[in-house]
Structures are given as C-alpha cells and as structure tokens.
Amino acid sequence: MRLRADMAFAVVGSASMLACGSGDARWSDTAPMDVTFLTFNTALGVGLSEYPDQRLDVITEDLPELEADVLCLQEVWQPEQVEQLAAALEQQLPYAYWSVAPWREDAAGPACTEAEIHALTGCLMDNCSDVSESELPLCAVRSCAGEFMNASLACQQCIVANQSIDVASVIAACALPEGVAAYRDQNGLVLLSRLPLEDLDYRVFDSSLGDRGVLLARVDQPLLPSLTVLCTHLAATQREVPYTGDYQSWEGERAHQIDQLLAYVRDRREGEHAVALMGDMNCGPETARAAAADPAAFDTLTAAGFASPYAQDDSAACTFCLDNPLVGAAEGADSNLASTTGAILDHVMLSGLPDKVDVSSRRVLDDRIEIEVDGETVETSRSDHYGVLVTVEGPKP
C-alpha cells in the first residue's frame, strides 16, 4: 500500500517481520544466510546526462537481475521518475522509501523574486542563447551556477522540480504568482528493498547547491537483526562552479556533511547492531586502478568505524571513470583525476558486523548498453557512475 507520513511519500509493502533471536541462535537452516547491498548513482537529471528516459527504462529492467536485498539509488531527481521506478520494481522490491513533498502548498507569491529571475535570465542570455533546448540545462549548470546558488531555496527547488521543460521557460514560470510544481527534499535518493523497511526517517544536511541529506530505515533480518540502513549523496566538488557557501570550499562542505551524517548515525544507531551506509560519497581512497578523491573525507568515515569492502581491495577499479561514455575524458578530467582512469566515489560502508561473516564486493552495472534514440541505436552506459554490490554471508550450517 502507499502511505504518506511527515509530508514524505513512502511505498511500504505488507509482510510480517522476520523473527530473530540472539547470538548464533539466529542462524538456522531455513533462515537467509546472506544480505546483499547495492549503491548506484543513476544520473537521471534532465539535461545533465544524456538519454535519461531511455536509460531509466534499462535501469529498471536490470536492477532485479542483481538480486540485491537493499538498494540505495541516487540522482532519481523527478518525482515521476521515482514513481515509475518504484511501481515497475514493486514485485521484486516491494518496499521503497523516498522523501519528496510539495514545497509551496501554503506559500503566497512566486517562488523566485524579480531580482532572482533577472540574474538567472540575464546569465542564460549571455551564456546559453545559442545552444539547443536539450543542451540548455547543462549550459545553465555550468555557466549560471553562481546565480542559481545565490537564489533562495524556494526558487532553486521550483527550478529543479521542473527540469523536464526548458530552463528559460521554467525560470519564467517560477516567477508567476501562482508558481509551478515545486518540491522540498528533492534529493534524488531512493531506498528499495526486498525486506520490510521500518522506522523511516530523513535528515537534511546543510548544502549550498540543491538538497542534500540521508534516508534512514531499519531492516530486520536473521543475519543482521535491527540493521540500520542509510542512503545518502554527499556534496560533489564542482570544478566549474566557484564555491560561495559557508564552508570555504566544496571539500569543506562535504566534510561538514560527513560530520552531520556521523552525528545522526550516533543518534539513531541501536546499540551495537550493524549499520550499512550507502551512496555516492564523492570521496574515496587511492588504489592501483583508481585515483584518490578527497581522501581526508574518506578517512573521516573509516575512522568512525565504517569499512568500504570494495575500496579496500587494492585492485578495485573506479566507479566514476573517465572512459565512461557519459563522462568522457574532457568532462571528467580535473585536478583530482588527471592522468588516471577515475576514482571510487560510490560505497557500501559497513560497521558493527557480527563475528564469523564473510564479505564480498564487486563493481556492477558497468557494461555498455544499446538504446534507441530518434530511430538510431546508441551505445552508452546506464549512468556516468557504476554500481557497487556488497554481500555479507553468515557461517554455513
């Protein structure tokens, strides 16, 4: 059934909670002896990565084949995309949670002020007047991010909520007294699960460019009873966007968000039970096949007791890779990744696992796909990121 709680939309299936005991008694011959987690940044922002509609169809078809128990998806930006994804996967993944709610139900006046509209439209006219409609959103992000970041949160959210129409039109619409569709907590995060999701919560992070935050749910399963699951997407380093927020740099803002995240985990964690932290962390260690990306931020997470099984393998390859067709060397190369194949930004991080479990990990959703675009076959990737799959297995009976 479909529930609305605390102004957040949640899809919650009906099933009895799995019984669990303490110690080794919970490992029975009939109980599931493994739990598999998946994190995947879908890059479904309109105009920011190519072919969002076609890629969403492929992603929806391919996710069940991985047989993950709990999935954390990022950058599923549009409410209609979330609805489509949850409905299409309801048979295989009957439990879903996200937090997107109307922003301006009781607000009076336009979402964007006249001054905000003047700054945004002036920048678009100066920098993006000669690009096609399909290229306009990306041009706006690259060239007018400063104007966007200086706009009020209500104005930002109105623009983001209407990515599916061209930027110039939506900016004009957000200046109308009646406004257009606008949402809060439009963070792109979606939790999907084969197992019941309980005790649902969403915590907002401080952010200077769009919403950032973390979804939380409890999952009860014989191997990991009272498991706390968190799904997040931390601030990215925007190499083409000057930082104008309160934390000196994009790295500083990400460090602040990690502090907020860890405080939230301490507040919500139940005893010594396991925690699974999943998402695009926009940081990662150096391996033989990947460059370091803000390693200090990654070290803060590991110092707090979280281990990233995939990133711990020195042979682990990038999850954000410069040879990905949706990234490209020209777009992806920056001071952190130059002369490398890319970085490991996507993690399933675990803490508090019981003794005598085996943990395995692998990169997934990394092969090329073929889609039909305007009657032509195009070879591309599902996203500009690849996924990470981690399985925790208990002792064999």
Note the pLDDT tens digit of each residue in 177-227: 766 666 677 899 999 999 999 999 999 999 887 789 999 999 999 999 999
Q: What is the pLDDT of residues 346-363, one digit of tens each?
A: 999 999 999 889 999 999
Q: Name the band, by pLDDT with cuts 50, 70 and 90, for residue 243.
A: confident
Q: What is the pLDDT of residues 104-143, one digit of tens each?
A: 555 667 888 888 888 888 888 888 777 766 666 667 767 7
Q: Kindly state whether residues 357 and 283 are assigned to the same domain.
A: yes
pLDDT reported for residue 307:
98
Task: Tell me how long the chain is.
Answer: 397
Inside any domain, residue 343: yes
Q: How far is CA 79 from CA 9, 161, 184, 297, in A?
A: 10, 8, 11, 31
Shortest CA distance to 230 belongs to which of 283, 297, 281, 276? 276
Checking if the pLDDT of 172 tops 80, the result is no
* Nearest-angstrom CA–CA distance, 327 and 220: 38
* Nearest-angstrom CA–CA distance, 21 and 159: 49
* Nearest-angstrom CA–CA distance, 165 and 169: 7
Q: Kindly state whether residues 175 and 195 are assigned to the same domain.
A: no
Q: Kindly state whether residues 265 and 357 are assigned to the same domain.
A: yes
Q: Domain end: 183, 208, 234, which one?
A: 183
Tokens linked to 226: 């009272």
Inside any domain, residue 109: no
Number of compact structural domains in the chain: 2
The SS3 assignment for 59 reads helix
Instruction: Report the chain's terminal Cα–Cα distance, integer Å.
Output: 36
pLDDT reported for residue 334:
46
Q: Name the band, by pLDDT with cuts 50, 70 and 90, for residue 21.
A: very low
- Percent of the chain at pLDDT exceeding 70: 80
Inside any domain, residue 292: yes
Within a 10 A sphere around the Cβ of 199, how many other Cβ atoms? Answer: 12
Mean pLDDT of 42-67: 89
Q: Kindly state whether residues 245 and 295 are assigned to the same domain.
A: yes
Q: Kindly state whether residues 67 and 9 are assigned to the same domain.
A: yes
* Residue 41 bridge partners (DSSP): 74
Inside any domain, residue 191: yes
Q: Is 342 left (phi over 0), alpha (psi -120 to 50) or beta?
A: left
Q: Name the band, by pLDDT with cuts 50, 70 and 90, for residue 31.
A: low
Q: What is the pLDDT of residues 141-171, one digit of tens each?
A: 677 877 877 888 778 777 766 655 566 777 7
pLDDT reported for residue 130:
78
Q: Domain end: 183, 218, 241, which one?
A: 183
* Nearest-angstrom CA–CA distance, 92 and 166: 35
pLDDT reported for residue 27:
40
Q: What is the pLDDT of residues 46-58, one digit of tens each?
A: 666 889 899 999 9
* Nearest-angstrom CA–CA distance, 63 and 66: 6
Inside any domain, residue 287: yes
Q: Kindly state whether residues 283 and 336 are assigned to the same domain.
A: yes
Q: What is the DSSP letter of 35?
A: E
Q: Domain end: 122, 155, 183, which one?
A: 183
pLDDT reported for residue 137:
64
Q: Kindly state whether residues 6 and 150 are assigned to the same domain.
A: no
pLDDT reported for residue 245:
83
Residue located via tokens 């799904």: 231
Q: Kindly state whether residues 257 and 371 are assigned to the same domain.
A: yes
Q: Name the band, by pLDDT with cuts 50, 70 and 90, for residue 176.
A: confident
**For residue 263, what are the domain limits?**
2-100+185-393
The SS3 assignment for 239 reads coil
Q: How far is CA 92 from CA 85, 193, 194, in A?
A: 12, 8, 7
Q: Kindly state whether residues 234 and 383 are assigned to the same domain.
A: yes
pLDDT reported for residue 135:
66
- Return the CATH number at 298: 3.60.10.10
Q: Kindly state whether residues 13 and 53 are assigned to the same domain.
A: yes
Q: Kindly state whether residues 59 and 143 are assigned to the same domain.
A: no
Inside any domain, residue 106: no
Shortest CA distance to 300 belongs to which of 339, 263, 248? 263
Q: Is the pTM of this model over 0.85?
A: no
Q: Kindly state whether residues 235 and 383 are assigned to the same domain.
A: yes
